[in-house]
Structures are given as C-alpha cells and as structure tokens.
Structure 1
Amino acid sequence: MPPRSRRAAEAADRFDAEAAVDELYGVAPGDFVARRQELAAAARTAGDAAAVRQLKALRKPTLAAWAGNQFVRAHPAEAEQFARLGRDLRRAFEEVDQEAVRELTSQQWRLISAVARQVAEVAAGHGQALAEPVRRDVEQTLRAVAADQEAAQQWLSGRLDRALVPSLGLPAAAPAGRRKKKAASAPPRGDGRRDEAADREAEERRRRLLDAREALEEARGNLDTSKAAEQTAAGAEADAAAQEERAAASAQEAERDLREAREALDAAAGRHRQAVRETRAAARERKKAEKAAEGAAAAVARIEAG
C-alpha cells in the first residue's frame, strides 16, 4: 500500500463511525443537523470517506422516533422485555395457542400503554413535551415492534429516524373486552384485496406525512438559524455604523486640528520672517554705529596728538 493510502487507512481506523452514529441519535432534535455536520467534518479530517457518506445520509429523527430512541437508551432492560413479549405473542399465533394469545394480547395492550407513558416521561426529562399526535406515533411504533421482529430490532438499536408502521396481517394489540368476535363467515376475497390496498394506501400516506413533518422540523430549524444569523448580522451592522460615525467625527476633529495647526504654523512663520527682517535692520544700524564710533575715535586721537 502506498504511504499516502496507508496513512489515510490508519486515520480512518481512528474514526469510530458506529460511535458517531450512536452519539448523533442521542442528541436533542434541534442539535441533530449541526452535530451531523460536525461529525462528518471530523470523519473527513480523519480521511474516512465512507463514514462521511454514512453520516450525511442519516436522517433527522421525528420527535416520536427520537423519544423512542431515548427510552431504549435509558431503559434497555424494559425495552428488551417489551420486545420479548412481542416474540412470545408471535410464537403463540404461529402455534395457534389461543389461550396464550389471549393472555399475551392483554399483556401487550397494558405494556404498550405503560411503555408509551415511559417514553413520554423520558422525553419530558429531556425538555421535550410530546403532543397527542406524537404520542399516537409512539404507540404505533410500539405496535409495530410487537408485531414484527425486524421492527423490534430497529427499535432496540436506538437509531430510529421515523415512527414504525405495523406490518399488514400481523397481530395488533387491543384492550381486553374490545376484541372483535370471530365473524360467522370469512369476508369475500374481493373485500380482502380492497382492504389490503386501502391499508397500503394509508401506510403510504402516513410515510409521506412523516417525511413532510421531518422536512417541516428541519425547515423550522433552518429558519431559527437564519433568524439568529440575521440578528447577529444586524447587530454587527449597527456596531459598524456606530464605529463609522465615531471615525468620521474623529476625522473631522483631526482635520480641524490640522487646519488650526497649519494656521498656527503660518503665523509663526510670518513672525519668524518679521524677526529676520528686524534682525538684519538692527545689524545694519549696528555697523553704521560702529563706523561712526570708529570715526569719532579717530578724530579724538588726532586732536590729542596735535
């Protein structure tokens, strides 16, 4: 392996992509996008291109999915117990154990309600209140976990990005006393196909709704970020304008001082020139006086000699 490729491989080995994904799905919903960018940048610095692609492909979880992730992380034993109940119920259906099905279905209903409350409590502990539509998505996810092994594994990973949808044709929880009685005869085949088509259509609508909610949450987060950036820019603009005004005032004051200094310099130069003229005139008068004194002295000397 060339030295450069070897260094890149060693750097990539130092970046733990799985730990980064776990961390990302543990942060608050509002911090998901920013933290994803930070982790992708760290992976890029480490030279792990695969981790960069993996992190960038991760979707911001809906509030219901995030709340479920936090519950699984905070209460792994309870989460495993709930998933195990689902496995037992599916086994009872496969073995056509009607007594076990009735008992497990009753337990499942009670446990779904209890776990949904715990999920809401965990979310509240993180400062996130779950509205009624979000609580319904939480319960729907729990029903999917109870009905399907693959859904249970996804849920137990603590990395959901959206609410799960129960698979068609699998057992769903119902409270005791509300289970429907067996019909006297099976429904016509055509009705079954229409029901399946309607279920598929409803599931597709729900998936589109989840996508739209996720897009809305991300758009709101981007809007909040843009508003904060705008406020910061407005504050910087106001500061710059104030600095400009102070600089202009300082410049005007400096210009005034410079003008006054030039006027003082001109006045001093004029006084200097005048003093030079007066000095020169005094020097001429001094020379005349010296000559006159010399002449007078010479006259006195001649008189005294005569």
Structure 2
Amino acid sequence: MNLLFKFKKTTLLIIALIMVTLWGMTRLSSPLGDKSGTQSLTIAKGVGASTIAEQLSALSKSSGGSVSAFEITALSFITGRSGDFKSGDYDINARNSLRSILDKIARGDVAPTRVRLPEGATWSQIKAALLKADVQHNAQELDVKQLATELKLSTPSAEGMLFPDTYQYRRGETETALLARAAQTLQTKLSAAWDKRAADLPYTSPYEALTMASIIEKETGTAADRPMIASVFINRLKTPMRLQTDPSVIYGIGDTFNGNLTKADLQRDTPFNTYTRNGLTPTPIATASMASIEAALHPTDSKALYFVARGDGSSEFSETLSAHNAAVQKYQLNPIKSATTAAP
C-alpha cells in the first residue's frame, strides 16, 4: 500500500512537472500581446524581477495580451533569468515571444538613441547638438585643440575632423566615445577617397583636401555646384590667387560675428581670412559631407576663377574678372555679398 502510494505520488509529480514544462514552453513562445509596433519600457536601476514582471504585465495588457505578473515572475525563475535583468530603456515589440523579451532584458539590449552631427557644422555647433543627447557630457568644456588631444588625432585641431552623420549611442555613453567613432569614420572614408583622387591636385595631404572640402561645404547652395566650386578654388590655388571665401572670414571672426559681413571684416586679418592670406585655411572650418570631399578630390575640369550666388541657391561661374563683375551687378545688389569676389 505504501509502495503504491509513493508510486502514485511520484507519477503525479511527474505529470505536474510535465504540465508545468508544457505550460512554460507554451507561455514563453507566445507573444506578449497582439498589437504591432514598438513600445518603450524603462527599467530603473535596482528594481527586482517582480517589479519588472509587473511592468511587462502592464505592457502586455496595453497591447491586447493577458500575461500576468505572476506568470512572468514564475517564468523568469524557471528560465534562470530573474537575477540577470539589467536596467535601461528598451524597445519592446509585444508580438515578440515572452522568451525573446526576457532574453533581451537579460542581455541589456537597450534601445539605441541617435544624434545627428550636421554637415557644415563647427565644433561649437556640434557641442550644442550633443548637449541635447542623453550622454555623459565630458567634452563640453573642450576647445578644438583639446578635443584633438582627447581623441588622439594627429592634427592640431579637431575642427572638421568628425564625419557628419547620424550616430547611435547608448544612454550614458560619453561624448568623447561617440566623437571617437565619428573621427574614425571620417579617417576611413577620407583615406579611401584620397586613394582614388584625381591627378594634379594642389594638396599635399588628405588633411588639406579635407580643409578644401569644408570650404566647399560652406559655400555650396546647390549640391550640383560642388564640383564647379571646387574647380574655382583649385584654379585659384594653382594660379595662384587668394581664395577670397566669405565663410573662412566668418569662421575667423568666431562667436562675435553678428551675421552681417562688412568690408571691415574682409580687411581684418586673421589666420582664416582668405582675403588677406594666401592658400588654404590652417584647418578645416566645419564638417564636410562625403559629397564635398568627393568634389574636392574630383573637381570639374574648368578655367573658372569666380562665382557669385544667383539668389536661388545656385551660382554663376566666370573665367574673367569682367564677366564676374557683370554677374555681380546682375545677381547682387551689394557686391560684398558675392560668394567669391575679384582677386587682388
């Protein structure tokens, strides 16, 4: 009798175990809810598995599901995940299986966030963009020289040394870690482009080409004009003539520039004033897009030495000073606004 009782008890336990296993497998492979789309789940630091289970249960119900907090707690324990959950912000698709969602939280596969480093942006403008991102702001006090040191760049300045793009980051990542990726991306792309450059260019290094690209970026109103703008500046370097580009003057003025470029500004000498100094600026003046880098390395074959904005974003290009002056009269009421004025 005793033996029979023990046998029945063992059998019942085995049956119960099988039922629990089948239930667990079914529940784990089932979706959290029925609604498609991604929902946000924020798990605070230090919370336990039961609290996370309650959050997931609430998300299940809001998504048309019916998974209870008790079930999630039990399944977390059964799968050995209950002590592995990591804090952070997660993108949860309720149609994914509960197992995949628990695995995701255990891995700490938090939702990436994004920040845009714009084309034609200076370091001060990039800092402003980063300030809005959920990162550790450890670069806000750095100037372009200090940033170059921090990122271990071989250039004297970090200006223009970050590739403009949209970057994913994890919340709490440092600004310098994100910027290091942007700097490495630029180096990779610039090196590849440099290797395929056109012949007979007036650059001694990829850095000089990047400096030219940054000027092209700031001067371009219409994308199609980039190779011609590059041609003008390259022709001037070869002639030689001063570049006489307004964006370089504005960069040299710095944060005190009030938006109104005057004749006095053009005559005020700074290392970046290409009206008073020969050759390229000592560093890039902004971030350069891949299109501007390509234009700097593959300019249009032309004899143009001048260009002036038409007012619709495009430019009028001229080979002679007289033709340029006529274009200025036609398109600009004030010649001081012209994109590249007469050479000295």
More helix, by proportion? 1
Q: Which has the larger radius of gyration?
A: 1
More strand by share: 2
Structure 2 length-normalised TM:
0.24
Q: Which structure is higher in RCO with an 8 Å CA cutoff and minimum separation 6?
A: 1
